[in-house]
Structure formats: structure tokens, C-alpha cells
Structure 1
Amino acid sequence: MSQEARNPDNHAVVALGIILAGGEGRRMGGDKAFREVGGRSLMAMAIETAQLQCDAVMISSNQTPDVFSQFGLPVVADVPKPGQGPLGGVLAGLGALPDGIDWLVTFPVDCPILPADLVIRLISAASDAGVGAAFARHAGRDHYLSSAWHRDSASVIADLLGREERRVRGPLVAMNAVAVDFDSSDQPALFANANTPDDLTYLGAILGAS
């Protein structure tokens, strides 16, 4: 499992980023990806974060691709079938990895504020440990959807989904994934989820203050 790591100021590690946008967003009243914080949609924010750190970016969603046409990115649906949750999106992304890119990094659309060195630290930690995945940990909380996956992890995920085991934690545990701690004493909204309109208001206030 090799990777060409570069620092965040010099583009990115060699990775494909995938925006996980398959949730229905019921608590948000639907269309979560297009809800705005500070005049920008959650999707636009997630894409910008991913593009700053990855060599290519795509969107995971079971909606028709034309819904996201304004972003000009490929859209992949869950595999092996819709309704598999985020893990189905991860497997779809791994299946779309082009030649020359061995790592997939996931960006949940409802978590718009992430570290600028997320990708390089996750992939470096997994590579150094000789394992196929790594995930973020912040303030004692594990963020399984902010994670990096080597292409070899696809078979593990497919096996679990075939047994109707859809929790993202499952394959991470199976592969002895590494937890990477991110300290953010100066970034109070880091890894904050936007699940409700109140969450959007909170994030908007934090971003406005910074």
C-alpha cells in the first residue's frame, strides 16, 4: 500500500475524494446537500474541501445525476444496490477508483468543516500501520465517515454488505483501521454535523465570527 504524500500547501496526496450525499435529510426537511451556510450550499463546501486535498472528486448519491449537474462531477449510486447507506457509497467509490489511485477518502456532505490535512494524515497513518483504512477522531469522538480506504478494502465491504451488515464501523474494525486524532482547540466547529436548521444557524455563526 504505497502513496505519494505531499503537504497540504502542495496540492494533495494521490487520492479520490467522494462526497457522501445519500442521506434523505429528514431532520433538515429534505435536500440537505443544497441547504446553505453563509450563502454556500453544504455540497459546494464539501466539494471545495475535497478538491483542495484530492486529485479527483465524485459524488455518492442515489438521486439522478442531473440533480448535481451544476457541480460538473461524476455521480455514483450505492452498490450492489440502492439503500445500502454510506457503506454502499464507499463501495461504489472504491469501484470507481481509476488506475494510479489506490486510496478513496470520504467526505460527508453534512460535515462541511474539516481539517486541511485530513487526507494526507489519514492515508499516511494507514500506510505507516500497514492497514487498509483510517478514520478521524476528534474530541474523543470517532468520525467513521471521515475516513480513508485502500482499494483492497472493497472485498471486505462487499462481504459485509452481502450479509446485510451496513455499519461503517464494521469494515473499519475488520481491517484494524487506525484512528487519527485531530486537535482543534482553535476550530470549535471542526467535524460539526449539520443535521437540522439549528445546526446550520450554529455553523453560520461560527464561520461568520471566524
Structure 2
Amino acid sequence: MTVAGVILAGGNSVRMGREKAFVEFGSVPLIDRVVARFRDQVTSLAINANGDPARFASTGLPVLADDRPDTGPLAGILAGMRWAAALPARPSFIATVPIDTPFFPVDLVAQLDAARDGETRIVIAASGDRDHPVVGLWPVDLADTLDSWRQTAKSQGVRAFLASCGFVVVNFESPTGGPDPFLNANTRAELDEAANWLSATIKG
């Protein structure tokens, strides 16, 4: 069983005021932080983003555009599935993380994979009393199902698609004295808070 990774960076970053991927976090752009944390967990890695792909050239990663802009994370997940299906060594799953989740576990993919118990199923992450539906493991063979569902669905929400397919949830504990592993930074203030956690971790 192999897993390819997709970093979901296709949002408009309206509340951040600029594109999240290139906001500084711990002295490096957020995209570099996420790539470094994700790369060793997967066999291949790509970025889902719209617009000029050249801005991501320094990462050396393929950039996957949505088939239809402004249709939410499911568009990026589908783009990831299509990309993975065309790889020479076709993976069975893609794992996805959003660009604004800088503390996701370094064993995220391993834990998601273990939770599927050998079955071909969707697995998503949770922490505390919240699930995180865009942090997940997705069978590549669901691409056509997802594509068809998006054509007729009243909502493009990830939870609606999950409800139509069924899924497993893995709960991740927060480290003692540390941030939620899926702390989500949508604003500059939230990113600064996350950077403070990072600084405290380094000093500790």
C-alpha cells in the first residue's frame, strides 16, 4: 500500500490578507514548513493551488489546479486523486493536509493508514471534540465517484461527501502543554499564535 500526499493550498486566503503559503512562519514560508513535515510521510507529494504555478517553483513539486475554481477543498482532493492515478507507481491512496495546519503529526499518514484496518475506506483526523475533514486519507479509486457526486450535489462541502461514502475517524491527542495538532491559522493573529507555540517548543 502506497500513499501520495497533496497539500491543499487552493483557498483565497481572504482573512489572512495575502496568500497563506508564503506567509512567514518560524522564519520560513508556511509552504516550506508543511512540505518539510509531510514529505517523508508519503511516496510522492504535490501542491493543490490555482493561478500561476511558477510561484511554487522553489519547492520542486507539481502544482495541481482545481477543475472548477471556488468549489472548495473537494476540488483539490479530486485533483490530487487524478494526479495520483497517473503516477508511474500508482498509489492506492492520497493523504491531504491544508496549508494552514503547521503542527500536523509527523506520523499522521501512518496513523490514518492503521485506522482503515486493511480496508479501502476514507479516514479523517480529529482532535479534542472536533473532526478535521480535509485532513484525511482518500482512496484514489474514488475519483470517478467524487467527480460524479460534485456534478449534482447541492453542496460542495466535504462533510456532505463523507456522509455519502462513509468514513473512519482517528482521534489525535494534543501534546502536554502544546498546541492542538490541527491548529488552523486563518488570520495573521492565529498564525502569530501558532508561531509562539513553535518558538516555545524550540526553546523547550
**Deviation digits for residues 4-30 of structure 1 (CA, Å, limit 9, x no counterpart):** xxxxxxxxxx21100100111111102
- From 52, 55, 78, give the equivalent of 2:43: 55
- Normalised by the length of structure 2, the TM-score is 0.91
- Normalised by the length of structure 1, the TM-score is 0.88
- Is there any run of 5+ residues in structure 2 with no aligned partner, and where? none
Which residue in the other structure is 1:93 paired with?
80
The whole-number CA distance in structure 1 between the counterparts of 2:83 and 2:150 is 18
**Residue type matched to 1:207 in 2?**
L
Q: Are residue 169 (structure 1) and residue 156 (structure 2) matched?
A: no
The whole-number CA distance in structure 2 between the counterparts of 1:61 and 1:188 is 27
Q: How does 1:23-62 map to 2 (within 5 A)?
A: 23-62=11-50
Q: How does 1:70-81 map to 2 (within 5 A)?
A: 70-79=58-67, 81=68
Q: Displacement of 1:124 after TM fit?
A: 2.2
The total of aligned residue pairs comes to 196
- Is there any run of 5+ residues in structure 1 with no aligned partner, and where? 4-13
Q: Displacement of 1:129 after TM fit?
A: 6.4
Which residue in the other structure is 2:196 paired with?
205
The whole-number CA distance in structure 2 between the counterparts of 1:136 and 1:209 is 25
Which residue in the other structure is 2:52 paired with?
64
**Deviation digits for residues 133-192 of structure 1 (CA, Å, limit 9, x no counterpart):** 100010010001110101122122112210143111122222211000111142324211
SS at 1:137 equivalent: strand
**Deviation digits for residues 30-65 of structure 1 (CA, Å, limit 9, x no counterpart):** 211111111111111111111021111000011111
Q: Are residue 83 (structure 1) and residue 70 (structure 2) matched?
A: yes
Which residue in the other structure is 2:10 paired with?
22
- Counterpart contact for 2:127–2:180, Cα < 8 Å: no
The whole-number CA distance in structure 1 between the counterparts of 2:119 and 2:72 is 27
State the Cα RMSD in Å: 1.4
The whole-number CA distance in structure 2 between the counterparts of 1:117 and 1:130 is 19
Identity %: 35
- From 139, 148, 157, give the equivalent of 2:137: 148
SS at 2:105 equivalent: coil
The whole-number CA distance in structure 2 between the counterparts of 1:195 and 1:182 is 21
Which residue in the other structure is 2:111 paired with?
121
SS at 1:88 equivalent: helix
The whole-number CA distance in structure 1 between the counterparts of 2:118 and 2:163 is 14
Deviating 4+ runs (over 6 angstroms): none
